Amino acid sequence: MAWFRYVLYFFGIAAITAALTQLEVAYPGSLRMHVFVNGDVYGTSEFSPVEMIQLLILAVCGLLMGWVARYSHTQRPLAFLFGGLALVFLIRELHYFFDRYLIDNLWQVLVAVVGALLIAYCFRHRKRMNISLARIWPSPGLTLIFAGAVILFAYSILVGHEPLWQAMLGDAYARVVKLAVEEFIELIGYFLWLIGTIEYVYQAKEQAEREPQPAAVKRREYRRRH
């Protein structure tokens, strides 16, 4: 029934995007793409419903990867890596609130700590990481995660570059246009990341059901049942 899931993905993305766009059309300014807060000179989109949806998607992706890491022994290294990346980008998306309401540049410290732990983990378990990838590849889920990553960390950054919009619009430049385009591009990237994560979870679950369980897992399951 994989085809049915993809139909749901299509209509889900279309419905959310339509709701956001129609909300702004019906009530101009409701998406809060350019909000000035407490002396903010440039304005921010951090309070936008679009950004809130992005945060929710990252949280869901992290939880799903945590589930895979717990229940799939063979996919644990990869799931730990992607779950850690979701946490890193969640912290990055919250940078405005960390800087304004907690400690300036705190998010950078947190990203550095989590990133260092991820690098250390991947280096230590690099052989298991290669085995996990070899067992699940080719993977539609990982392909969609990669596509989302390309949009998020290459395309949106380049297209959302402020000098580009200043050059194109000249005297008609309005920062809200740049912010809106950038955030909606990021949103589709996160949608792809979420779909990829869900498909990866399905694939990891099917793989775990086919593989024999380690003796320790069998003993734990036996104790739970009795």
Cα dist. 43→39, 40, 161 in Å? 9, 6, 16
The pTM of this model reads 0.84
Residues 96 and 20: their CA atoms lie apart, in Å, by 22
Tell me if 192 sits within 8 A of 151, measured CB to CB: yes
133-173, pLDDT tens digit by residue? 888 888 888 899 999 989 988 888 888 888 888 898 888 88
In the predicted model, what is the mean pLDDT of residues 122-135? 84
Alpha helices, DSSP H only, in the chain?
A: 2-26, 49-71, 76-93, 95-97, 106-124, 126-136, 140-150, 156-159, 162-169, 175-210, 215-225
75-118, pLDDT tens digit by residue? 888 888 888 888 988 988 888 888 777 887 788 888 899 989 98
Return phi, psi of residue 118, to 5°: -65, -45
Tokens found for residue 152: 């998020």
Tell me if 89 sits within 8 A of 156, measured CB to CB: no
